[in-house]
């Protein structure tokens, strides 16, 4: 059962276990600092497909398959899948899931989707009735550029404040904490965020649009649980990039919360942004999913990190909303990940 | 707590209650056979906005506001909202939810989204930690035509097999069944469907694409619960339209399941399809959401219907997938609605 603590935080009394995880990355991700942590890397960003959209579906299906393999599970043993992506009508997810006979709950929370999937997945596991629940999320630089910005062939130049959509996917399999497969990592709490509009309207400044939502969710969680930033080994946002991360620290400072020592951002971990020319850092649903599965969960498994607050941040826009003069509202969902065996 | 029965059906031991519901419809919906059941109808399909997308957000926000009002609840009392729509990046939902300080889980299941929201909402209520959970979904003829087909100004002619996207929204508020506000209607079970691809590839034949998914989910539920169609007052699909409904009955007949007497389709209930020139019937997420809230739930409240299996069906495509030669996979999610006070 789940229990509400404070105003909005849900604590899972039998914290669902993460029984396996997997990450898949493209060429540029394989040249970045996290390359060694990926389950699989591809040199061919098209993955042998004839469209970027199909390539993204393959990325996501590959992450799911590797997570299943790592847990020694067949798809038939999974009772529910929660996942999403950035493409119109979530086609990367929906077409990837043609390959699996797993009941599907499609989620959309822009780049917050993977944190949302972990939170909702843990809630569902805690409700009972499930042996295993899988989660996955993906993004692809080329399908996103084509859909949200310009055709690749146009060779459009990004602004320095723009983030680079990751070509990556991540998958996590959850189970009730009675199963023997536990690696010791569990999802012990979650906060679902609400939509915040701070008036940012430049789609090349999405870090700025999302920072207030990240701050709101982090502050809510700390208030609800009566804890402080130093109670966590890591508060991991995904993905504010360089500018959004700076704004988050500023917003927190105003509230006397010092996040500097404990905060890292997936968008700044995936690439060496100077050397790899990655603008203000990585973004896209696959960025936080892959950073979590390629770097953070391995460190948690090894006991190097024990308590991680994973905060997915989403910019809520489509290609037409900025053209219609709309602001970019944002949302942030958080999942608390703990390795209790090392505590 | 939820309990799995058979292979895939989740039974909610403390079946969450539907404490209120509301429906909003546009001009054509107000000229149809369900007009009297709508909470509110608008003559102006633009709802005073300067874009169809903003109008759809208003539809959805209006349904939520009326459901809150009917339950005498403030938005602050709602702990979680589950909702979605058909627009790219679910902007109708995300922009509607700017108006409410309610934590948001964005869902995408094409036209199955409202059934998915009820199923996931009931699961979340059953997990504990929530006083109230709201759900909503919408579609708008003009925003959908513009996005998926042609600009309205072009005056494109639909094929007779095409369905008409409803300009409508529905909202339901759920609560644990200890609360006193119960009207006697509860969500007592759910089946989440998986993605099925039967090789249909014509986006003007979406009923045909979805019928196999509807059949799969209905047959799964009946097998899991060891019940027969006649155990239900109504098996309500949304939205197969005229062609998909006929195919569903044929598929069921092959399996010796006689659905004819008990099956109705939201797409055939919303409009008088002959008089109103509605092609093969209504469709769009708002169609099933509005038919449920404007017609079915009122009949359940009055004891005229006691056990209704609500089966949302979604065609999983985007504007580009048919152009890339893809089939149209489909999914169907079911929620069992019961009025136990009249049993």
Alpha carbon distance B22, A226 (integer Å): 38
Put simply, the answer to whether A89 touches B317 (Cβ < 8 Å) is yes
Architecture of domain B187-342: 3-Layer(aba) Sandwich (3.40)
Over residues B12-43, the pLDDT tens digits come to 988 999 999 999 999 999 999 999 999 999 99
Residue A75 forms contact with B (CB below 8 Å)? no
- Per DSSP (E only), the strands in chain A are 2-5, 9-12, 17-25, 40-41, 80-84, 104-106, 133-139, 164-165, 168-175, 185-191, 234-238, 263-265, 282-283, 307-315, 330-339
pLDDT band at A67 (very low <50, low <70, confident <90, very high): very high
Question: Would you tell me how many other CB atoms lie within 10 Å of the CB of residue A327?
Answer: 18
ipTM for the assembly: 0.97
- List CB contacts of A291: < 8 A, sequence separation 6 or more: A34, A170, A236, A238, A266, A269, A270, A282
Q: Do domains A2-175 and A187-342 have the same CATH topology?
A: yes
* Token pair recorded at residue B274: 């002959």
* Token pair recorded at residue B288: 């099933």
Q: Quickly name the fold that domain A2-175 has.
A: Peroxisomal Thiolase; Chain A, domain 1 (3.40.47)
Average pLDDT over residues A210-218: 98
Low-confidence spans in chain B with pLDDT less than 70? 179-183, 342-343
Put simply, the answer to whether B129 touches A1 (Cβ < 8 Å) is yes
Domain residue limits, chain A: 2-175, 187-342
Average pLDDT over residues A118-130: 96
Which of A90, A103, A124 has its CB closest to that of B193?
A103
Residue B175 forms contact with A (CB below 8 Å)? no
Interface of A with B in 104-133 (CB under 8 A): 104-110, 116, 120, 123-124, 126-130
Over residues A275-286, the pLDDT tens digits come to 999 999 999 999
Closest to B251 (Cα-Cα) out of B204, B216, B201? B216
Average pLDDT over residues A71-90: 98
Residue A89 forms contact with B (CB below 8 Å)? yes
Contact A200, A56 (CB under 8 A): no
Helix (H, G, I), strand (E, B) or coil at A111: strand
Over residues B140-163, the pLDDT tens digits come to 999 999 999 988 889 888 888 899
Nearest CA in chain B to A331: B104
- pTM for the predicted model, two decimal places: 0.97
A272 has pLDDT over 70: yes
Put simply, the answer to whether A192 touches B95 (Cβ < 8 Å) is no
DSSP of A142-205: HHHHHHHS--GGG-PPPPTTPBEEP-EEEEEEEE-TTSTT--SEEEEEEE----B--S---TT-
Helix (H, G, I), strand (E, B) or coil at B173: strand
Closest to A314 (Cα-Cα) out of A229, A150, A194? A194
């Amino acid at each position: 059962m789940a229990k509400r603590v404070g105003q909005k935080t849900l604590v899972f009394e039998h914290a669902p276990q993460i029984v396996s995880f997997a990450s898949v990355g493209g060429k540029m991700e394989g040249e970045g600092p996290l390359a060694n942590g990926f389950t699989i890397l591809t040199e061919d960003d098209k993955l042998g497909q004839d469209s970027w959209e199909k390539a993204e579906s393959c990325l996501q299906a590959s992450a799911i398959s590797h997570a299943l393999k790592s847990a020694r599970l067949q798809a038939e043993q999974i009772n529910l899948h929660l996942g999403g992506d950035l493409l119109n009508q979530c086609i990367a997810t929906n077409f990837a899931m043609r390959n699996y006979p797993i009941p599907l709950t499609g989620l959309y929370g822009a780049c917050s989707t993977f944190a949302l999937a972990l939170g909702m997945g843990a809630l569902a596991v805690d409700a009972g009735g499930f042996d295993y629940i899988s989660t996955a999320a993906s993004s692809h630089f080329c399908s996103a550029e084509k859909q949200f910005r310009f055709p690749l062939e146009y060779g459009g130049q990004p602004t320095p404040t723009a983030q680079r959509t990751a070509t990556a996917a991540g998958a996590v399999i959850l189970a009730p904490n009675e199963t023997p497969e536990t690696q010791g990592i569990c999802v012990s709490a979650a906060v679902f965020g609400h939509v915040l509009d701070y008036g940012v309207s430049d789609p090349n400044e999405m870090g700025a649009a999302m920072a207030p939502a990240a701050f709101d969710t982090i502050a809510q969680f700390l208030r609800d649980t009566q804890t402080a930033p130093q109670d966590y080994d890591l508060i991991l946002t995904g993905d504010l990039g360089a500018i959004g991360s700076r704004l988050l620290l500023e917003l927190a400072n105003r509230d006397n919360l010092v996040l500097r020592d404990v905060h890292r951002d997936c968008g700044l971990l995936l690439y060496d942004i100077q050397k790899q020319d990655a603008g203000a850092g990585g973004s896209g649903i696959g960025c936080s999913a892959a950073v979590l599965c390629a770097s953070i969960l391995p460190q948690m498994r090894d006991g190097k990190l024990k308590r991680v607050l994973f905060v997915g941040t989403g910019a809520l826009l489509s290609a037409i909303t900025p053209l219609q003069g709309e602001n970019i509202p944002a949302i942030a969902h958080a999942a608390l990940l703990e390795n209790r065996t090392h505590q």
